[in-house]
Structure 1
């Protein structure tokens, strides 16, 4: 099954650094960020896990649960956590999934079906496509996914910005423009005609074009 935006995020059971979980049950009514790594003890990923540990309070504020995935065993993850703390000053307390049999990487279309059934003997290059971030909505559907090359560290501020946009647009009939940040002007969605817009936005709007109507952030 090819995953895309609005696809149901596949459920799974897994071993993690906090014990066994069932993914959908673990998510509950929260938003989720599932971010994957090709191998433990790799340099870029080490900085990423530390960066996300530092920013975790921002995700918590937004009712977002964070979970990592790496195609190595839990014992390796636990050792890696100490390295992450040494390098970044932060020791992640969010769970990291052990995908030793590659089942979850395949389930999420990050590895081909014929990639084998074990992480043993595989290098980070073999797993280089296991570098995707999935943002999952409370309805357990995929809201966004981004795949990065191994040499490019991920920008978690962009994930927060995207989550702010998705949470806003889920509640209000608006969209967010390029480079939008929370609190800035938003766009009335085209499906809302002017008559309905007058009721939703009684203070009016700035019509840059007939199809581009800007209003203040309605969550402010």
Structure 2
């Protein structure tokens, strides 16, 4: 199975470091970041799990749950957690799925035969409260994931879900945003009464909705 943007993630139940995890029940109505690892005790993934553990408050502030997945056993996951604490100074504080039978990996399309027939690639899925895929990222084994970028994309997704805007290149929370081209000036004026900057007929930028109140 290959999951694409706006596909619904199928439900599954599998063991994890926090006990059996039934995905839909565990996710509830929250956003989810699910990120996979080829195996335990790999150096890049060790740093990534430590980074996410430290960033958990930033994910929670956005209503996002995080869950990792690796194809090793639950016993090895618990052993790996000790190394993560020792080397990264962070306790594993979110579930790590033990997908030893690769059932979930196959279900979610996390095994790419050109990379490996047996281990998962290093993929990130950002999943919305309706269990739909809203972002996919797949990294090579040698390159650690940038979780600040993942937080940035979640900010964009959550903003653009609630306002008729898009976010430009390199946007971060608080920057100006783009008014959707589908809105004519009359409709835009009703939503953005303080006006905007027109760069081209199809490119109008405006202050981020809610940025001032969120910052105060």
TM-score computed with the length of structure 2 as normaliser: 0.94
SS of match in other structure, 1:69: strand
1:174 to 143, 165, 175: 165
Instruction: Kindly indicate whether the alpha-carbon contact (under 8 Å) linking 2:110 and 2:121 is maintained by their aligned counterparts in 1.
Output: yes
Q: Distance in 2 between matches of 1:88 and 1:111?
A: 27
Q: Is the 8 A contact 1:38 1:130 kept in 2?
A: yes
Give the structure 1 partner of residue 42 of structure 2. Answer: 42
CA 55–145 in structure 1, closer or farther in 2 if over 3 Å, else same? same
Corresponding residue for 1:185? 176
Structure 2 matches for 1:196-207, cutoff 5 A? 196-207=187-198
The Cα shift of 1:42 comes to: 0.5
1:212 to partner: Cα distance: 0.5
Q: Partner of 2:10: helix, strand, or coil?
A: coil
Which ranges in structure 1 are unaligned for 5 or more consecutive residues? 116-123
Classify the secondary structure of the residue corresponding to 1:36.
strand
- Conserved in 2, the CA contact under 8 Å of 1:12 and 1:23? yes
Shift of residue 104 of structure 1?
1.1
* Residue 25 of structure 1: aligned partner: 25
- TM-score w.r.t. length of structure 1: 0.92
CA distance in 2, matches of 1:92, 1:61: 18
1:126: how far off? 5.2
Residues 120-154 of structure 1, C-alpha deviation per residue, up to 9 Å, x if partnerless?
A: xxxx9655652100000011100001000011000
2-structure distance, mates of 1:176, 1:68: 28
Instruction: Give the CA deviation at 1:2.
Output: 2.7
Aligned counterpart, 1:66: 66
Give the number of aligned pairs: 211
CA, structure 1 residues 126+152, in 2 after alignment: closer, same or farther (shift >3 Å)?
farther
| Distance in 1 between residues matched to 2:20 and 2:185, nearest whole Å | 51
SS of 2:86's partner is helix
